[in-house]
Structure 1
Amino acid sequence: MGLEDEIEELREEIAETPYNKSTEAHIGRLKSKLAQKKEKLENQSSSGGGHGYAVEKTGDATVALVGFPSVGKSTLINALTNADSEIGEYEFTTLNVNPGMLKYRGANIQILDVPGLIEGAAGGRGGGKEVLSVVRTADLVVFMLSVFEIDQYERLRHELYENKVRLDTEPPNISVRKTHKDGIQVTMRDTVSLDEGTVKDVLRAHGFVNADVTIPHDLTIDELIDGVMDNREYLPSIVAVNKADLIDEDYLPTVNEDLREHGIDPDDAIFISAEEERGLDVLRERIFDALGLIRIYMDKPGRGVDREEPLVLREGDTVGDACEKLGGSFDERFKFARVSGDSAKHDDQQVGQGHELADEDVLRIVARK
């Protein structure tokens, strides 16, 4: 029996096993085996060669446009950026990853028009593994759906999930530390619904013999396995609904109902027409906000405040992060900084490298000579 058959057998057994406290540990073991066999199959496929899509990440952040073939991704990236992606009225037009640069609010945001996914992409169909490997390197996923095929959303999310991409969620809060004796010791809060025996079985299934495991918050078996394997990518996502120009206003309630049915709040979806370039201003703004970018205006000695080309950082970044991005010897020569803006208690507040910056702060770094 081949690996693919073993994987299918495990999936069937998991689907047929009712989940309750008495079967929890068994399901945990099955899911652990499934995760390991999928990993083994992926490694075998990777070692077999093939052409990937090596894309150099540039700019302040990278966005992957994800959709099934001929949904309009190439038209959209051409409208958003200076890319020149081939456009056609047939499927599989984009055969390579086409990068373009979106310039917005002083930020340079790389947009990747990846080849259209097909069902089974995570298993390698249609070069899917290569495409998905590019998506894993992005900072944000923009799902592009046709207004007439909202059901594409769940299928796309499934393909990404199968390729170890976890969307719109945080990594599980779990600590696993290998030890040299005493077996597997589990410390977890009363609020954790998983049985301690289940946790130990999952760890053993992944080769742990001695370990200290700490679980401070409730989590599912799947999240436990994700935390143990520690090779998942956690990315935010937004949804753009294309071809909105092709529907009448009377049809909009039907579309909204389809969105809700597939787990999308209509207020969160961005209705666009890539062909007519409608709704793109809203999409640009949502991309910027979803990436959590902030603009820092540098106060340069003798030249004043540069508001034309801000230093672009991420929410939560500090003066130290600004020094690192500026490069040079700022880290070594740093003396102190002065900040004005929302993060400062007053204008020209003197701060150290640990000070957290806010959008549109003015920053002046004072360095030793």
Structure 2
Amino acid sequence: VISTARTCNCILIVLDAIKPITHKRLIEKELEGFGIRLNKEPPNLTFRKKDKGGINFTSTVANTHLDLETVKAICGEYRIHNADVTLRFDATADDLIDVIEGSRVYIPCIYVVNKIDQITLEELEILDKLPHYCPVSAHLEWNLDGLLEKIWEYLNLTRIYTKPKGMNPDYEDPVILSSKTRTVEDFCNRIHKDMLKQFKYALVWGSSAKHKPQRVGKEHELEDEDVVQIIKKV
């Protein structure tokens, strides 16, 4: 189960609203022990080994957790005596260890709190203010649509609709792209790997277009629910 979790794009942790919240922390500790970091971004620091020169420590911000001696001590635990370490945020020792080990994965997580039909309105209001939580009742089917919306938000995906020439857009079967790889080139590769060989330009309707339609090249970045028509070479 843990090995599967490491490959996920989003993790849902289902909690019981009428049981102690300590169960949440137990699950988090179990996942953290296997290198899974929930709702965190990779540390904004650079670690580079080198052949000589000792430990070189620089920072672009004020540090409250790390100094040169601490960095040397941590590197020494891994038998690293020559490296450049550059911090771009107020990193902790755990952040540096995560980067040195290099086996961490950073995954968005939603805490799905079930059985909200069995708690008071005051308790529900408290849960609703907590970060990354989504209260539901599976039995009464409360807020299941809200859960779907939250999953879509945390997956951070982009829906792109196709428009064949002379036809209406196909809104039933969008092409799904990651928000990190959503250029017209990525769109073409998702449809067929040979499409770029015939690509001339694309027409785009939607929020990424300055006017509708806008003629764009393969480097153009698409936005959610854009409509794209590919024009091929003759």
Structure 2, gaps ≥5 residues long: none
Q: Deviations over 1:152-204 (max 9, x none)?
A: 21221121111111111100012222222212222222413310121122223
- Are the aligned partners of 2:199 and 2:230 in contact in 1 as well (CA < 8 Å)? yes
Q: For residue 306 of structure 1, what is the aligned residue in structure 2?
A: 170
The residue identity in structure 2 corresponding to 1:182 is: G
Listed as ranges, the matches of 1:75-154 within 5 Å are 131-149=1-19, 150-154=21-25
Query: Structure 1 residues 286, 195: closer, same or farther in 2, change over 3 A?
Result: same
Instruction: Give the C-alpha shift of residue 216 in structure 1.
Output: 1.9
1:252 corresponds to 2:124: no
1:184 corresponds to 2:184: no
Q: For residue 210 of structure 1, what is the aligned residue in structure 2?
A: 82
Q: Deviations over 1:17-56 (max 9, x none)?
A: xxxxxxxxxxxxxxxxxxxxxxxxxxxxxxxxxxxxxxxx
The equivalent position to 2:161 in structure 1, one of 276, 280, 297, is 297
Q: For residue 71 of structure 2, what is the aligned residue in structure 1?
A: 199
Distance 2:32 2:73 in 1: 23
Distance 1:283 1:246 in 2: 18
- Are the aligned partners of 1:192 and 1:216 in contact in 2 as well (CA < 8 Å)? no
The residue identity in structure 2 corresponding to 1:144 is: V
Q: For residue 221 of structure 2, what is the aligned residue in structure 1?
A: 356
SS at the partner of 1:297?
Answer: strand
Query: Structure 1 residues 268, 252: closer, same or farther in 2, change over 3 A?
Result: farther
Instruction: Give the C-alpha shift of residue 268 in structure 1.
Output: 5.3
Distance 1:204 1:265 in 2: 43
Distance 1:267 1:256 in 2: 13
* TM-score (normalised: structure 2): 0.89
Structure 1, gaps ≥5 residues long: 1-130
The residue identity in structure 2 corresponding to 1:148 is: I
- Are the aligned partners of 2:18 and 2:118 in contact in 1 as well (CA < 8 Å)? no
Query: Structure 1 residues 181, 266: closer, same or farther in 2, change over 3 A?
Result: closer
Query: Structure 1 residues 151, 253: closer, same or farther in 2, change over 3 A?
Result: farther
Query: Structure 1 residues 218, 276: closer, same or farther in 2, change over 3 A?
Result: same
The equivalent position to 1:165 in structure 2, one of 33, 36, 51, is 36
Q: Deviations over 1:124-160 (max 9, x none)?
A: xxxxxxx111111111111111011233212211211
- Are the aligned partners of 1:243 and 1:272 in contact in 2 as well (CA < 8 Å)? yes
Query: Structure 1 residues 215, 252: closer, same or farther in 2, change over 3 A?
Result: same
Q: Deviations over 1:274-329 (max 9, x none)?
A: 12322211111111111112211111235442111111112242212212212231
The residue identity in structure 2 corresponding to 1:366 is: I
The residue identity in structure 2 corresponding to 1:215 is: L
SS at the partner of 1:300?
Answer: coil
Count the aligned residue pairs: 231
Listed as ranges, the matches of 1:27-66 within 5 Å are none
SS at the partner of 2:163?
Answer: strand
Q: For residue 101 of structure 2, what is the aligned residue in structure 1?
A: 229
Identify which of structures 1 and 2 has the higher relative contact order when contacts are C-alpha pairs closer than 8 Å and 6+ apart.
Answer: 2
- Are the aligned partners of 2:48 and 2:84 in contact in 1 as well (CA < 8 Å)? yes
SS at the partner of 1:148?
Answer: coil
- Are the aligned partners of 1:256 and 1:266 in contact in 2 as well (CA < 8 Å)? no
The residue identity in structure 2 corresponding to 1:226 is: D
Instruction: Give the C-alpha shift of residue 362 in structure 1.
Output: 0.8
* TM-score (normalised: structure 1): 0.58
The residue identity in structure 2 corresponding to 1:207 is: R
Q: For residue 241 of structure 1, what is the aligned residue in structure 2?
A: 113
Distance 1:357 1:283 in 2: 25
Point out the structure with the larger strand share.
2
